[in-house]
Amino acid sequence: MGKKDDFRLVKMALSGRDYAVMHGRNPWMPMWWSAALPGLGHLCQGAYLRGLLLMSWEILVNIKARLNQAIVYTFTGQFGKAGETLDREWALFYGVIFFFAIYDSYRISVEVNMLVRLERAQPRRYFKILQMSTGGLNYLGRGNPWAAAAWSALLSGFGQMYNGRAFKAFILLGWTVAIIWLARLNDGIICTFTGDFRRAKEVVDYQWVLFFPSIYLYSVWDAYSDAVEANKLFAEAQKNHLRKKYGAGFPHGL
């Protein structure tokens, strides 16, 4: 029979490349990001594999259904073209992915919130602030949330790198670069700044462009949010260390 505290919930896990932290959040926030683009609501909760699978499958099905192109035609009043463009057989798959992503991100958030409350109720809590391995060096420190948001505003994923979230950065940066390239977005920007608006309109692939706003805005929000949570975690780890070192002499409420 093991010791009484052999089974415990940990607040965080740290590797040489990334870290995971268990913290509560309003379940409606992951639902919102999942509605914006399936998979994003999972990424913000650390469910990277599920998030990557849902994002990739959503983008594939969207492309096959030509859903974004149909949306563009709809918003520009070309309803006939929208109906002709949309592949209804593939569009049926999209509805299942869309609603599952929203439901599952909400479910995960509710369950994680319960685990967070259980973890806080434990008499002993576990924190780790430094990890070195052949895979790299990673540590938990204080960061500037606005700097993280600014880096993601320049290129999605860089704010996550700033925060030490390598896996999430890889997913966001990879899809962002792919979307920019496939949409020929940079070509469109160059044409716009040189005043060639007609060519800018022709060169851009709007089927791919419509993926960009969701990933871009999510990346900026997520970088800021992660930096704020990391700062809270660092402060909590410091308090935990001081309580262990000085015991009852250190104010518990600080």
Query: Domain for residue 6, yes or no?
Result: no
Please determine, for residue 165, whether its predicted confidence score (pLDDT) is greater than 60. yes
Query: Domain for residue 5, yes or no?
Result: no
Domain range for 147 is 12-249
237-245 mean pLDDT: 69
Query: Domain for residue 144, yes or no?
Result: yes
pLDDT class of 254 with cuts at 50, 70, 90: very low
Name the phi and psi angles at 251, rounded to 5: -60, 125
Helices 28-36 + 88-120 axis angle, to 10: 160
197-222 mean pLDDT: 91
Query: Domain for residue 2, yes or no?
Result: no
Query: Domain for residue 161, yes or no?
Result: yes
Query: Domain for residue 3, yes or no?
Result: no
Report the share of the chain in percent with pLDDT over 70: 85
Beta-strand pair 19-21/136-139: unpaired
**Helix residue spans in the chain (DSSP H):** 28-36, 40-43, 48-65, 67-75, 79-85, 88-120, 145-154, 158-162, 166-183, 185-193, 197-203, 206-209, 212-246
If one compares 69 and 15, the residue with the highest pLDDT of the two is 69
Query: Domain for residue 129, yes or no?
Result: yes
Query: Domain for residue 7, yes or no?
Result: no
Tell me if 159 sits within 8 A of 225, measured CB to CB. no
Q: Give the pLDDT of residue 14.
A: 72
Tell me if 219 sits within 8 A of 152, measured CB to CB. yes
**How many whole angstroms from its chain centre is CA 246?**
38
How many domains in the chain?
Answer: 1
Please determine, for residue 2, whether its predicted confidence score (pLDDT) is greater than 50. no
The per-residue pLDDT for range 34-78, each reduced to its tens digit, is 999 999 999 988 889 999 999 999 999 999 999 998 998 898 888
